[in-house]
Structure 1
Amino acid sequence: MALKNNKYLKPFKNVFLLILVVFAVWMIFLDSNSWLIHHELNSDIDELEAEKEYYQKEIIKDKKAIKALSTEDGIEKLAREKYYMKKDNEDIYIIEYEDSIAKTRHDE
């Protein structure tokens, strides 16, 4: 008889409320299209959008580099700066500053 008049169980006697609670639990946690899965997929989409933006910037940068290397002057500039190539009648001096030299530690 104590269960009949319990004020905490009174809302669960309503069939519509009980169905609504079961439906909400099913949709949030158990369904294949649940809120948890949608949240995870949305975070994956955000990560992929960021990656897409990064690679689009890299493509633009590479296109600029390809355009610069399509001329003789661009190839010569790359060869001189990166590979230290020179013409036969010139000398190359490489100047390194103190802050660009890797410091080594000498113990006695």
Structure 2
Amino acid sequence: MTLFSSELTAILVVIVVGFLPNEIWRVLGVVLGRGLDENSAWMQWVRAVATALLAAVVARLLLTPSGTLVALPFLLRAGALAAGVAGFLLIRRSVLAGVLTAEAVLVAGAWWLGVGG
């Protein structure tokens, strides 16, 4: 019974510390963002900052990886990035398609090289 209670405690901690604080901001964003003009200068700036942050995260993962990505060669990481961009462009500019394509290339490359697990 202690294993169940420790797992339940961990799940509750994740919900209280990880999920709820983020969800409050999401709901607040939906409520406050209803009347915003998507083409206003303010929204263009927000979109530009979000894009820059995403580009910085991708560049950091490519150039200075951590964890299991360190074991993967630079050319594999760069190829996964290129495949992800291609997937994004080919499937109606879908971020999900780009991420899944890049992930598939990384997983297949790691499997082929025998890296990880």
Q: TM-score range by the shorter chain?
A: 0.3 to 0.5
User: Which structure has the greater CA radius of gyration?
Assistant: 1
